Structure 1
Amino acid sequence: MTRYFFHVDNGTSPPTMKVSVPHLEAARLEAVRAAWRDDKESKQSFWEHMTPWIMNVTDDEDHLLFTPQFVVPSLDISRVICSL
């Protein structure tokens, strides 16, 4: 198993999470799961405060492997087309 570290920057910066999974693809899946769990457990949901946050995923030697970004785009009402 390989250890990966999830460093979250969402404005509240919870502690770095450490996971052990067999390969990089599993770490990518776990990063999405961890983001979902973090959102469910936080006092204010990502969906409520609408600010983007990132998760830097590193290996044991602190090399950056990937960075998922979570962003909710704002709705531009002028681009909404409704036909009756």
Structure 2
Amino acid sequence: MTTYYFHVDNGEFIPDGDGVDLPDLDAARQEAVRAAGEMINESKRSFWEGMTPWIMNVTDDENHLLFTLQFAAKAPSGNALYIPQTEADHA
């Protein structure tokens, strides 16, 4: 088992001093996504109103940077339509 640390910067740097013991990198990736979703949910409106990207840097127990997640909410500046593209549009 390796201890993985999930350091967050959401406008305020929040270091992970405890870490989580996980079996491998894939488990750390899954935990990062789960934790990010939980943080967004717990933030209530501040995530949606701030429109500031959040960053999660994931390190191992030797402080090697393994990967970074960036997530942000964006709202259109005016009246916008979403028109999905089909595979034919890409040809």
Shift of 1:81: 7.2
Query: Partner of 1:41 in structure 2?
Result: 42
Shift of 1:76: 4.4
- Correspondence list, 1:1-84, <5 A: 1-16=1-16, 18-42=19-43, 44-77=45-78, 80=81
Taking the aligned partners of 2:79 and 2:38, their CA distance within structure 1 comes to 34
Shift of 1:48: 2.6
Shift of 1:45: 3.4
- TM-score, with length taken from structure 2: 0.73
Runs of at least 5 residues in structure 1 that lack an aligned partner in the other structure: none
Runs of at least 5 residues in structure 2 that lack an aligned partner in the other structure: 84-91
- TM-score, with length taken from structure 1: 0.78
Q: Which of 1 and 2 has greater Rg?
A: 2
Shift of 1:50: 1.6
Give the CA RMSD over aligned residues.
Answer: 2.4
Taking the aligned partners of 1:60 and 1:15, their CA distance within structure 2 comes to 13
Q: Which consecutive segments of 4 or more residues in structure 1 shift more than 6 A?
A: none
**CA pair 12-81 structure 1, distance change in 2 beyond 3 A:** closer
Identity between Structure 1 and Structure 2 (%): 59
